[in-house]
Chain A
Amino acid sequence: MANETVRNVIIIGGAPAGYTAAIYLSRATLSPLLLAGEKAGGQLMWTTLVENYPGFANGVQGPDLMQQMRDQAIKFGTEVKNEDVTKVDFSGQVKKVWVGETEYLAKTVIISLGASPRMTGAGEERLFGRGVSTCATCDAAFFKGKTVYVVGGGDSAMEDTLTLSMYTNKLTIIHRKDSFKASKIMQDRVLLTKKVPVLWNTELVEVIGETKLEKIKVEDNRTGETKELPAEGLFVAVGHMPNSDLFKGQLELDQMGYIVTNMTTSKPTNNQEVWLHGAPTQTSVPGVFASGDVVDLRYKQAITAAGFGCMAALDAEKFLTGALE
């Protein structure tokens, strides 16, 4: 079912980057279509209080922040659909985007599909909802007084630990290195304020239990020694993977799967020239831009995603006016 209308711009993915791009493009009267996806709101829908998003001195609930951004985009005329894109074709001048059988056409596309929780590789997903979780915000309350482990060493692992500490004191962190990469303030809350014990240099190797989690098997990666620990809960917070599978073979991706843009290309470029006259957020295909965690191999913050979304919108606008060399 082809829809003959060729739109100015389609934004794929509705979270900080996509919503921000939509706000800018709708204010520029370019009538964007935002295919926000069934998981509209993205990773922030899995959070509670966000304390580091500027403009909210008392913090803001992640899902509320997403609703505000969405409302702001709609207010200026963005058409939003909570639909998952199933296929794209960026080979022609007119870009094609499909949701099932429905085809949408546009002169430009902005990809802001974000990232999804990574697994450890120990096969823990087998017991999802049966003791294993990636969302402490959602599931911590089910583990009142239970023996729980958190795997990871970044800010999200610290946040999960703090959330869980409100429900149980039988809580331990497992981390494969000998220090955390989480921010100092979060580490201090976990290690100094809550005094949560940590198994350093330790990796999860197996989850044990038929119908629910009963034990975990861990390995000390310095000695190779393994042991089994009784566990009722296991929260996995070992980072995220860019949601870029849809674009394999159409756009250049790096070895980790991040979409490559003019900002992150390994090819020799004149960065100053790109910044001044080019389009930093443009992908390997002209007219296709990318922003947020699907590009960002480093910062991965709500505010940086929003910033990238703004940049992609301005780059797309520049492309549409023909001002891009």
Chain B
Amino acid sequence: MAAIHFSDADFEEKVLASSLPVLVDFYAQWCGPCRMAAPIIDELSETYKDKILIGKVDVDASVATAAKYGVQSIPTVIMFKEGKEIERKVGFGGRGGYEEMIKKVS
């Protein structure tokens, strides 16, 4: 199962108001390192589907959300819990790096 997509329109409702922690991968179509992260993010979203929500934000399509969280480098992966950012990883973080973020909240 591929990770779900969030946008400016539903970020508030689906991420900030979520009862589960949410891991968000800020990416763009044209970004090579994002392509490295994508299959890992997809796989983790399957592995941890009962514990946390994992999704993506295309920074070209959702400029406002990317700007709000000061995303200046992609991929940037941010963990949200109860509507607040609790951790972020900038640049390709690797499976180990992302799993570590997930394990802290699940």
Contact = CB atoms under 8 A, between A and B. Distances in A.
A46 B39 contact: no
Interface in A244-284: none
A288 B92 CA distance: 29
A139 B74 contact: yes
Given A82-B39, A128-B91, A45 B70 contact: no
Contact-size category for A: 20 to 34
A38 interface: yes
A138 B72 contact: no
Contacts of A141: 28, 60
A84 interface: yes
Nearest to A232: B72
B28 to A, nearest CB: 8
Interface string A151-171: 000000000000000000000
Nearest to A40: B36
A212 interface: yes
A217 to B, nearest CB: 21
Interface string B65-85: 000001111101000000000
Interface of A: 38-41, 44-48, 62-63, 82, 84, 128-131, 133, 135, 137-139, 141-143, 212
19 contacts: A38-B40, A38-B92, A38-B95, A40-B36, A41-B35, A44-B32, A46-B33, A128-B90, A129-B71, A129-B76, A130-B70, A130-B72, A135-B33, A137-B30, A138-B31, A138-B74, A141-B60, A142-B72, A212-B70
